[in-house]
Amino acid sequence: MRKKTYCFNPILLNDLKRFWILSAFYSFILFLLVPLKLLNLISEHVNIGELINSNNFIFTYEGFMGLQPLIIFLIAIFIAVALFYEIQNCKSNDHIHSLPISKKDIFINKVLAGEILIFIPCFINYIITEIIVLQGTIPVHHYKIINYFIMTFINTNILFLQGVFFAVVTTNVFLHVFVSFAINLVPFFIVEMGNDLLNIILPERLSESISLYNLKYILPLSYMIEGRGVDTITIKNIILYILSMALLFLLSYILFIKRKNEDINKTITFNFLNDVFKYTTTFISMIIFSLILSGYFKIGVTFTVINCIIGSFLGYYISEMIIRKELYVFNRLKGYFIYLGIAVVFLILLLNTDLIYKHTPPRAEEVKEVYISTQYNEDKINSSYLIKDKNTIKNIISLQKYLIGFKNNRGWENQVYIVYKLNNGDMIKRYYRGNFGNEFITQMEEISKNIQYKKLNYDILNIDFSDIECIDLNYGKDVYEVTDKEKIRKIYDIVCDGFMNNKFNNLGNNYNTFVNFKIKNDALKKYNKKYGDIRIYVNINLDEDTINNLIKK
């Protein structure tokens, strides 16, 4: 029977022999970041408190003036480029595949070499750090050290495996590095900039904040750049990190095995990925180009759409140039026109129908409750103070219809946020800003007469008098602190009465007194506040006699 042959050692040893210098460099970088800093702290004889603070600083990714994540990325990607260049270059690719080594062994050996090159620096520096800490002069928990080095190994590893993936699918080193970097930022970028772009096209739209940070398991770079620190090792984290590494490894492995050796002459070795690359570049270029120009010139929708067309064309043309390795690719723009057609249809549907984006207000019977205010407050939107009164809801819908007529009004005089919570669970968020005239004030005043509006917008109406600790009264240029119970009661009554009887509202600016209520700390729980303090600010009108009466000692 024929003996099964493995070729682990030759390729692995050869790669380690050729690229050990990268590992040495990484060891040096990590040494500068942790052990050397700790040694410096010891030699400076700083006190324990400072040491603990410094330790918190050391065991993060904020080293090298915040560039540490990029340095880790570059090291990981250089290791991937160094190891996998052999399968990206025509000559070396032919050479390695002519040798009696299976594709499986080539891939596994190279990944293993990368793992070793990354592991050794982390391990050596972990040992050095532990030795320093064991001297007993620095109060650092051991879990913090091991957590830091394990997470550094994991993050470097994921970035390395991303590099491996792109080494398999592209043969151009520049593209390899660029795409490996961009992939970490693109999802965040698309969400952030896509939101901004939509807000230019649909100014009344209120973008949802979308958290993409669970992508840290597979795209750790932006998480590291954001300065979120070193993730804590938990069972869940470890499982997710291992799964993402396994996913990257398997995906790269399958693609490498499937990759035809003769496709080394193509920029991207799989035809289906050409389209992914092309249309992603087109889309991102469209967003960037239009946002930069629209943001710079601050011009409206038409100009933005023209910029989108130019931006997407540039993205498509450049990606086609990269794929074809030709400068002149005007005869290959069919895909761009299809993209443009789809984009135009999407834009028409977006701007003129309710299919993608609801332009028209909902029907009153569809609405369960509404938030309306001149200020945006996420806590209030999720509170129980929303307006449920059907007549007021109808008035709000009528107001919104009025505001829709002011589509391109870019003034600053009035603003209003309207958030509908519908019976079917959907939410519609809108923001209108502009010079809407007296009709807007009239309609808002009508809405503001509703008690639910008052409870929603004037926090003081939801506070018990007994929970008020003191009041700052800003009148003219002076500030008076009121601590006297009776005077507090009086101000409280004036303010509540003023709001309830529509003497004051938050729509105008002609008020002479600014009142700041401070709530007692032991009442925080009652108002669902776990920490900090509660301060309520209101603008009111007080006559001079009342003021004099209140500030009299």
List residues binding another protein (CB under 8 A): 2, 5, 7, 9-10, 13-14, 18, 91-92, 94-95, 97-103, 105, 260-262
Residue 101 or 215: the one with the smaller Cβ distance to another protein is 101
* Closer Cβ to another protein, 99 or 254, answer by number: 99
- Quote the least distance from Cβ 6 to another protein, whole Å: 9
What's the min distance (Å) between Cβ of 323 and another protein?
Answer: 13
Neighbouring-strand partners of residue 210: none
Nearest CB to another protein, comparing residues 10 and 335: 10
Asked if residue 85 lies in contact with residue 173, where contact means CB atoms within 8 angstroms, the answer is yes
Q: Where are the beta strands (DSSP E) in 203-346?
A: none
User: Rounded to an integer, what is the distance from CA 487 to the centroid of its chain?
Assistant: 47
Residue 104 CB, shortest distance to another protein, in Å, is 9
For another protein, the closer of residues 13 and 349 by Cβ is 13
Shortest reach from residue 97's CB to another protein, in Å: 5
Nearer to another protein, 23 or 506 (CB): 23
For residues 230 and 329, which CB has a smaller minimum distance to another protein in the complex?
329
**Residue among 4 and 553 whose Cβ is closer to another protein:** 4
String of DSSP letters for 64-105: TTTTHHHHHHHHHHHHHHHHHGGGTSHHHHHHHHHSS--HHH
Distance CA 68, CA 66 (A): 6
For another protein, the closer CB: 99 or 242: 99
The dihedral built from the CA positions of residue 44, 47, 49 and 52, taken in this order, carries a sign that is positive
State how far Cα 511 lies from the chain centre: 39
Helices 271-297, 334-352: axis angle to 10 degrees equals 50
Cβ burial of 474 (10 Å; 0-12, 13-18, 19+) is middle
Instruction: Identify the burial level of 302 via C-beta atoms within 10 angstroms of its C-beta, where 0-12 means exposed, 13-18 middle and 19 or more buried.
Output: exposed
Q: Which two tokens stand for residue 362?
A: 């909902």
The least CB distance from residue 324 to another protein, in Å, is 12
Print the SS3 string covering 157-173: HHHHHHHHHHHHHECCH
Q: How many CB atoms lie within 10 A of CB 177?
A: 20
User: CB of 106: closest distance to another protein in angstroms?
Assistant: 11
Output the smallest distance, CB 262 to another protein, in A.
Answer: 5
**Identity of the residue, 79 or 550, whose beta carbon is nearer to another protein in the bound complex:** 79
Calculate helix-pair angle for 103-134, 35-44, nearest 10 degrees: 10
Question: Could you tell me the smallest distance in angstroms from the CB atom of residue 358 to another protein?
Answer: 47
Among residues 10 and 437, whose Cβ is nearest to another protein?
10
Q: Environment class of residue 328 by beta-carbon count within 10 Å: exposed (0-12), middle (13-18) or buried (19+)?
A: exposed
Q: Which of 503, 514, 374, 380 is nearest to 444 (CA)?
A: 374
Q: How far is the CB of 16 from another protein (least distance, A)?
A: 13
Structural contact between residues 460 and 517, judged by C-beta atoms closer than 8 angstroms: yes
518, 464, 241, 507: which is closest to 372 by C-alpha?
Answer: 507
| Least spacing, CB of residue 162 vs another protein, in Å | 25
Tell me whether residue 21 or residue 46 sits nearer to another protein (CB atom): 21
Contact 323, 267 (CB under 8 A): yes
Contact 502, 449 (CB under 8 A): yes
Smallest gap from residue 17 Cβ to another protein (A)? 8
Which CB, 7 or 496, lies closer to another protein? 7
Query: In sequence order, which residues have a C-beta less than 8 Å from that of residue 155 and are 6 or more positions away?
Result: 72, 220, 224
Least distance from another protein to the Cβ atom of residue 286, Å: 29
How do beta strands 478-482 and 513-519 pair?
unpaired
